[in-house]
């Protein structure tokens, strides 16, 4: 897995640049965020992605996902936008990898691992949102 993290590190600056370019299509609310602020947010997500590619620790990835979801929901993002955003982030990594890395089995293996990571992230977001919805439903039933 460490080699995937090294590959990710090699393309990361281009991934970050691409994310900044397409941030409005990831979520329209991101287009109004100043570049320096969104750069820091994207960089934090890329840090987490790179760490996951290095260690494969789904538990740490999940704790990041829970915090990320809470933060985004607090900013007014819709659940649908959260799922779309996390998938779009992974898609940008794959897009840059296909453009920048040479064809071959190592690149194909990297792309599969990024796709798997993207699936894990989307699943964690869905699970986190489901838990949040269940908690809100329980609270509503108690209050009503």
pLDDT tens, residue by residue, 11-41: 999 999 999 999 988 888 788 888 899 999 8
| Structural domain count of the chain | 1
Alpha helices in the chain (DSSP H): 2-26, 35-55, 58-74, 79-100, 105-143
Contact 82, 30 (CB under 8 A): no
Of these ranges, 48-62, 91-105, 126-140, the one predicted with the greatest mean pLDDT is: 91-105
Q: How many CB atoms lie within 10 A of CB 85?
A: 19
Q: pLDDT value at position 120?
A: 87
- Please give the residue range of the domain that contains residue 85: 2-143
State mean pLDDT over 112-131: 88
Q: How many Å apart are CA 88 and CA 94, to the nearest integer?
A: 10
The answer, yes or no, to whether residue 144 has pLDDT greater than 60, is no
Q: How many Å apart are CA 43 and CA 29, to the nearest integer?
A: 18
CATH number of the domain residue 48 falls in: 1.10.490.10
Pair of tokens at residue 81: 């936008």
pTM reported for the whole predicted model: 0.85
Percent of the chain with pLDDT over 90: 46
C-alpha distances out from residue 124 to 3, 12, 20, 87, 119, Å: 24, 23, 24, 12, 9
Radius of gyration of the chain from its Cα atoms, rounded to whole angstroms: 16
């Amino acid at each position: 897995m460490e080699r995937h993290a090294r590959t990710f590190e090699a393309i990361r600056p281009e991934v970050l640049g691409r994310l900044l370019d397409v941030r409005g299509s990831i979520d329209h609310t991101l287009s109004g965020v100043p570049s320096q602020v969104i750069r820091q947010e994207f960089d934090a997500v890329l840090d987490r992605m790179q760490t996951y590619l290095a260690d494969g620790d789904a538990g740490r990835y999940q704790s990041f996902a829970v915090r990320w979801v809470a933060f985004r929901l607090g900013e007014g993002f819709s659940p649908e936008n959260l799922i779309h955003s996390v998938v779009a982030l992974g898609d940008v990594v794959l897009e840059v990898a296909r453009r920048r890395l040479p064809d071959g089995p190592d690149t194909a293996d990297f792309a599969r691992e990024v796709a798997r990571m993207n699936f894990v992230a989307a699943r964690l977001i869905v699970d986190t949102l489901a838990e949040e919805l269940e908690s809100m439903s329980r609270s509503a039933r108690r209050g009503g």
